[in-house]
A = this chain, B = another copy of it.
Amino acid sequence: MNSYLNNAWYMAGWAKDLQDTPVAREFLETPVVMFRDAGGSPAALYDMCPHRFAPLSRGTLVEGQIQCGYHGLRFAGDGRCTHNPWTGRLPPSAQVQSFPMVEQDGILWIWMGDRDRADPDRIIRYPELADGDYRFVFGSSQVNAHYELVTDNLLDLLHSPYLHPGFGADWRPEYKYRVEGDTVYSDYRVPPYRGSEFTDILWPQTRGKMVDDFESMRWNPPCTLELRIFIGVEGMKVTEGEGFINIAPHIVTPANKTSTHYFWGSGIKASESTVTDEAHLEIVSQAFDAEDAPMLEAVQRRLGGNTDIMARKPRPVALPGDTSAVHARNILKKLIKQEKQTT
C-alpha cells in the first residue's frame, strides 16, 4: 500500500521537543515547521516561505510568530502573513498552509488531512505520561524503513528472544491476538522464566527468582501503539492489571515512503522500582534504537523501493506470530480505501 491515511492524528513529537526554536520535521512527505505561538500553543506550518521558498525553519521566532530568515516576512501560527518589513503591505497570496495541532499527555499530535475533520476527541490517550505516580524515559529516532515494517515489528514480539537478548533469550511466550473493532492486540503469556537483564534492572526485587510475565501490545490505526508489561515473581498471579507494570508508548509517524519517525517511551510505577532513569534508558534504547532499527532498515534495503512487503513476489512466508500485524494492515488498508472513496 503506497498511500497514507490522511485524516488521522499523527504524533509530531514530544511536548518537551518544542521550546524556543523552530523544529523542522517531515510528515507524510510534507515538510513541516513547528513552533509555539505567543500563548505557548503548538503551531505547525508548511516549511516553505511563499516568497522565495526558503525553509521557514531556518528563520527565527519573534513574539510567537515565525520570521523568514531570508527577507524577513513574518507568519502567525495560522499561516497568515503578519509583517512585511519592506513595504508594510502584506502580499495577499503570502499565506502558508497550517496544520491543526494538539498537545495532550505530553505528546504533540498533528493532523495532515482535511482540517474540518480534525476532532481532538479521537486522539488516543496516554494518561500515565502525565501521572506523577509514573517515571518515564523517552526516545525519538528516525528509522529508514516503511512505517508498516515498524508496526509489524511491534505487533510481533516473537522476535524478542532473537533480536533483544537483554529482554531474555529464554523469553518464550504463548501468543494470542485479539481484534476489537479497529483495535488490534497481541497478548503474550510467558511461562515462568529466570527473568532477564531488563527485569533485573527495572525490578531488582525480582532478581534471582523465576518470574511470571504477561504482556499486551495494543495497536490503533494508523500507527499508534502501546505495550503494557506485567511482571510478578513466583506465586504472584500475573494477568493484565496485576504485577509490576511497565507502560511503553510506541508511536510511529511516516516521514515518507521509506523513513519513519519512531517515538517511544518506557514508564514504571515509581513505587515499584528504584531504577535510575539512566539505567532504564540504556536497557530500552539498546533494544529499540540499536537492535530494532538496524534490522528494519536491512529489511527495507532488501525490499528496495517497494513499500508493501505483502505485495512482493514471492510473498513472505507466514508464521503464526504475524497474525496481529496482518489484521492491522488489513484494517488500515480498509480505512485508506474508505477515505479515498469519500473524498
The smallest C-beta distance from A94 to any residue of chain B, in angstroms, reads 5
Chain B residue nearest to A95 (CB atoms) is: B317
A31 CA to B312 CA in the complex, in Å? 17
Q: Is A295's CB within 8 Å of the partner chain B? A: yes
Contact with B along A301-317 (1 / 0, CB 8 A): 11100000100101011
A27 CA to B309 CA in the complex, in Å? 24
Cβ A53 vs Cβ B299 within 8 A: yes
Which A270-299 residues have C-beta < 8 A from chain B?
295, 298-299
Cβ A309 vs Cβ B152 within 8 A: no
Contacts of A31 in B (CB 8 A): 302
Contacts of A23 in B (CB 8 A): none
A322 CA to B70 CA in the complex, in Å? 13
A62 CA to B312 CA in the complex, in Å? 29
The smallest C-beta distance from A203 to any residue of chain B, in angstroms, reads 27
Cβ B91 vs Cβ A321 within 8 A: no
Contacts of A295 in B (CB 8 A): 54, 58, 69-70
Contacts of A337 in B (CB 8 A): none
Cβ A94 vs Cβ B317 within 8 A: yes
Q: Is A120's CB within 8 Å of the partner chain B? A: no
Contacts of A84 in B (CB 8 A): 319
Cβ A71 vs Cβ B316 within 8 A: no
Given A295-B58, A317-B94, is A309 in contact with B52 using a C-beta cutoff of 8 Å? yes
Q: Is A55's CB within 8 Å of the partner chain B? A: yes
Instruction: Give the A interface residue count (CB, 8 A).
Output: 47
Contacts of A163 in B (CB 8 A): 69-70
Cβ A53 vs Cβ B162 within 8 A: no
Residue among A48, A72, A91, A162 with the most chain B CB within 10 A?
Answer: A162
Q: Is A129's CB within 8 Å of the partner chain B? A: no
Contacts of A159 in B (CB 8 A): 70-71
Residue among A53, A86, A93, A322 with the most chain B CB within 10 A?
Answer: A53
Cβ B53 vs Cβ A303 within 8 A: yes
A312 CA to B53 CA in the complex, in Å? 10
Cβ A54 vs Cβ B156 within 8 A: no
Contacts of A303 in B (CB 8 A): 53
A53 CA to B158 CA in the complex, in Å? 15
Cβ B302 vs Cβ A53 within 8 A: yes
Cβ A320 vs Cβ B86 within 8 A: yes
7 smallest beta-carbon distances between A and B, as pairs: A50-B317, A53-B302, A72-B162, A94-B317, A91-B317, A53-B299, A71-B159
Chosen A-B contacts, 14 in total, with CB atoms closer than 8 Å, are A48-B302, A51-B317, A52-B299, A52-B316, A52-B322, A54-B298, A55-B298, A58-B295, A67-B162, A69-B162, A69-B163, A72-B161, A86-B319, A94-B317
